[in-house]
Amino acid sequence: MPAGWLWAAFTIIAAFTQTLRNAMQRELTASLGTVGATHVRFLFGFPFALVFLAGLLLATGAPLPRPGPSFWPWVIGGAFTQIAGTALMLAAMGERSFVVTIAYLKTEPVQVAIFGLLFLGDRVTWPMMAAIVIATAGVLIMSATPLPLAAGKRARGIGPTLRPTLLGLAAAAMFALSAIGFRGAILGLAPVNNYVMAATFTLTIGIAMQAVLLSLYLGLRKPSVLLAIFGAWKPSLFAGFTGAVASQFWFLAFALATAASVRTLALIEVLFAQLIARFAFAQRTSAREAVGMILVVGGVALLILSH
């Protein structure tokens, strides 16, 4: 595959494995709660990130990167905003269907494009912006589909549609900032290290921070949840593995393309989510959602052609 297309291949793999992880975390929320299910991807993903880094070191013989001072603010910001985004995402999934929650999250590319321009100077061409707008319009049409709240989830003072919408959009904002943070950290290492090492090292540092932070929080505030996580180690291990694989390929894509391009192509995750929702959760696709998905595919196709 030509090097110019590698970012697209990495993104598609990441989107598919992330959809699997989201589905597993959604199921774990019922037994572990939002914070517990959030922690699963980091706690059980960290060992796999270490394996990826060790395998790369053995295969290449390259030394570990020596990050400069500018690396740490980027990776810390990316790690913390990703925790917030994951928690908000799982809370939204408790109130709307799996597919519609993913649709809310996919308003992220517009925010990524803005943040990328402001913080990293990432250039967005007119064809890329058109692709972002078309694909985002598709997810907005999908999210406009009226669906009932999950049982017992009606909040005081907030209507049945507004609360999950706000949760989903807030999650998208956190994931957008996380993407910018991690891309900034990777770019800081890339001039000295090859992009694979830069991405893998950044992943390992970021997920280590997340695992330690949430372990301390749960150990101090909710030790019973921490014990429950280890009790549910089998599904948690799968969620951790798929989460680590998804993050590895996200970071590889961030090393090769702008965050806006990566996150726009990632809208293909909506299609993967639809398949999982249909076969795993028995949730049907409405006509409005089908129209939205057509726009998503069109936007993604335009993005690919613009590169």
Note the pLDDT of residue 113. 87
Residue 118: pLDDT above 50?
yes
Q: Exposure string (b/e) for 268-297, b if CB count within 10 Å is 16 or more?
A: bbbbbbbebbeeeeebebeeebeebbebbb
Note the pLDDT of residue 203. 97
- 52-74: average pLDDT: 92
Question: Tokens 């009790």 identify what position?
Answer: 231
Decide: helix, strand or coil at residue 246.
Answer: helix
Residue 249: pLDDT above 60?
yes
Q: Which pTM was predicted?
A: 0.81
Give the pLDDT band of residue 142 (cuts 50, 70, 90). low
Q: Shortest CA distance to 165 belongs to which of 179, 134, 144?
A: 144
Over residues 124-135, the pLDDT tens digits come to 788 888 888 887
Residue 180: pLDDT above 70?
yes
- 232-258: average pLDDT: 92
Sequential DSSP letters for 90-157: HHHHTTS-HHHHHHHHTTHHHHHHHHIIIII-----HHHHHHHHHHHHHHHHHHTS--PPPTT-PPTT
Question: Tokens 């395998």 identify what position?
Answer: 55
- 22-49: average pLDDT: 85
Note the pLDDT of residue 156. 45
Note the pLDDT of residue 154. 45
Domain boundaries, the chain: 3-123+157-263
- 186-212: average pLDDT: 92
Output 122 or 34, whichever has higher pLDDT: 122
Rounded Cα–Cα distance for residues 83 and 69 (Å) = 23
Q: How distant, in Å, are the alpha carbons of 143, 268, 276 from that of 138?
A: 9, 11, 19
Give the pLDDT band of residue 213 (cuts 50, 70, 90). very high
Residues 6+ apart with CB under 8 A from 80: 209, 213
Say which range, 90-94, 151-155, 186-190, 247-251, has the weakest mean pLDDT: 151-155
Say which range, 49-63, 71-85, 141-155, 264-278, has the weakest mean pLDDT: 141-155
Residue 17: pLDDT above 60?
yes
Say which range, 42-46, 105-109, 119-123, 152-156, has the weakest mean pLDDT: 152-156
Q: Given CA atoms 139, 140, 144, 150 in this order, what sign does their dihedral have? A: positive
